[in-house]
Chain A
């Protein structure tokens, strides 16, 4: 009896130990929700890893995924991912396009993709597969690309137009970029060809500046942008300026420079001017402040005619993706609201970095209807990021699947996350 008891006890202990050990190992390999922290009811998984530098993505009606790569992978810049056995893990089905870049979109039977100077389109068949991957139509060419803010994000409206971000090649249009006390160039000459959103026809070949239209200006660099289907309007997320302290140490402390200026969401109407490089938006004073390069001191307000942001986030978080949620999977509060992928900051040092998450803003009638909140956190794998190189993953592109799930790319480690909701 006693021996039996000991045997049972030993077996139980052994089983418990094995269970605990297995559980720990499993968690290390495949942590719950792929390591993400989500609101109640949401789940997440990593659907693929090691895809290089995935930037923006788009999901087809059947759930396949086109990925634009920032750096060529085996000589190709676009991946088609599929999950043919429906096990939730995607594999690379094909790759094409000999150019790297960021922008990708599907509209009216075509796949659109951008390099840093051009935009191409590929005709799709009934399964939304590219018919001729080696011979896309070049619809836009000759766009300027500097050594920073060179990527071209794209979005299409419902009237056969495509909108392209052309980022400014300077931080604040200084005579010496990012240098100490360097003044702004009067009448910043970049703005005729950069620092704004340009509009082109979606189906015309070889368009450049003279065939396009500067739709909005005074936007330093936009990576996340989306077309809001509820009011047929363009919305953009601007990457705000850097280096307030390092260029103007007498005017801004380290702490102020970490928080300022706001990363702004703008609702864009044709002809709008958001004011870069002459002003920046201070989310603490709720004012458009004259840039120090153009005579500002951190307090003087700039020209009031520049548009105001509709959401002002803390500084430097780098909004790389914007998506209005039109699905039915997530709870009602998410319908038509905005998801923003924050790549995470670098220009907050010596303060801790910020971002590295997907945020959400509820919307009603095309305007924010509540405060922004962190939706998906934990990409960095750290409680505090001091330098961006420490972050495990960095959110970049967003897309909505046919079932209403949300996809997030990570261009640091090449993972793609799928976020779902259990109804």
Chain B
């Protein structure tokens, strides 16, 4: 039964909406207050999302930042950003995949999409 349910979810969720549009809406509601409309962040506080290894690099680390929050200082181009980020684990796998795909393909970024299946996998591995 469990095995039969999983493929059904995989098949339906990505087709529900265009990930790009979805991602922007999620970004605007949950991320923009701190990371700003252009992903430029806030000096000393909230890190920029423009061409950083956190956004473009290890996808598991990136997914975990949203699922678990982030409470460590981040150094980007010699500047440290130290405001803590709360967990967004209450967002669905689809929402997290959509917003990460949006971030990875905006703000001068160009990187592969993140899928809901990837988020689900990281979430279940804890």
A interface, CB within 8 angstroms of B: 70-71, 147-148, 150, 176-180, 182, 243, 245-246, 346-347, 349-350, 386-390, 394, 411-412
Contact = CB atoms under 8 A, between A and B. Distances in A.
Given A177-B84, A180-B86, A387 B37 contact: yes
Contacts of A147: 71, 73, 82-84
B2 to A, nearest CB: 30
A389 to B, nearest CB: 3
Contact of B32 (A150, A178, A350): A350
9 contacts: A147-B82, A150-B82, A179-B87, A243-B33, A346-B45, A346-B46, A347-B33, A347-B34, A349-B32
Interface in B17-75: 28, 30, 32-34, 36-38, 40-46, 48, 69, 71, 73
A243 B48 CA distance: 19
Interface residues of B, number: 29
A319 B80 CA distance: 21
A389 B86 contact: no
A148 B84 contact: yes
A182 B69 CA distance: 14
Given A389-B40, A389-B42, A389-B43, 16 more contacts: A70-B44, A147-B71, A148-B45, A176-B86, A177-B84, A177-B86, A178-B86, A179-B87, A245-B33, A246-B30, A246-B33, A350-B37, A387-B38, A388-B40, A394-B43, A411-B43
Given A147-B71, A147-B82, A176-B86, A346 B38 contact: no
B42 A388 contact: yes
A240 to B, nearest CB: 15
Contacts of B84: 147-148, 177-178
B33 A388 contact: no
B43 A71 contact: no
Interface centre among A243, A246, A387 (most CB of B within 10 A): A387
Interface centre among B41, B42, B73 (most CB of A within 10 A): B42
Contacts of A412: 43
A50 to B, nearest CB: 14
Contacts of B85: 178
A247 to B, nearest CB: 9
A245 B80 CA distance: 26
A177 B40 CA distance: 22
A350 B35 CA distance: 11
A96 B80 CA distance: 22
Contacts of B87: 176, 179
Contact of A387 (B40, B69, B78, B82): B40
Contacts of B30: 246
B86 A346 contact: no
A102 B110 CA distance: 38
Contacts of A386: 36-38
A150 B87 CA distance: 22
Nearest to A70: B44
Nearest to A347: B33
Interface in B73-100: 73, 78-80, 82-87, 90
Nearest to B38: A387
B90 A389 contact: no
Contacts of A180: 86, 90
A314 to B, nearest CB: 17
A390 B38 CA distance: 10
Contacts of A176: 69, 86-87
Contacts of A245: 33
Contact of A148 (B41, B83, B86): B83
A347 B82 CA distance: 16
Contacts of B82: 147-148, 150
B36 A349 contact: yes
B36 A388 contact: yes
Contacts of B42: 346, 388-389
Contacts of A150: 82
8 cross-chain pairs, A with B, having the tightest CB-CB distances, nearest first: A389-B40, A179-B86, A387-B36, A147-B82, A346-B42, A246-B33, A387-B40, A148-B83
B104 to A, nearest CB: 19
A349 B36 CA distance: 7
A243 B38 CA distance: 19
A1 to B, nearest CB: 63
Given A387-B37, A389-B36, A389-B43, A71 B71 contact: no
Contacts of B37: 349-350, 386-387
A243 B45 CA distance: 14
Contacts of B38: 386-387, 389-390
A125 to B, nearest CB: 34
Contacts of B79: 71
Contacts of A388: 36, 40, 42-43
A284 B17 CA distance: 41
Nearest to A150: B82
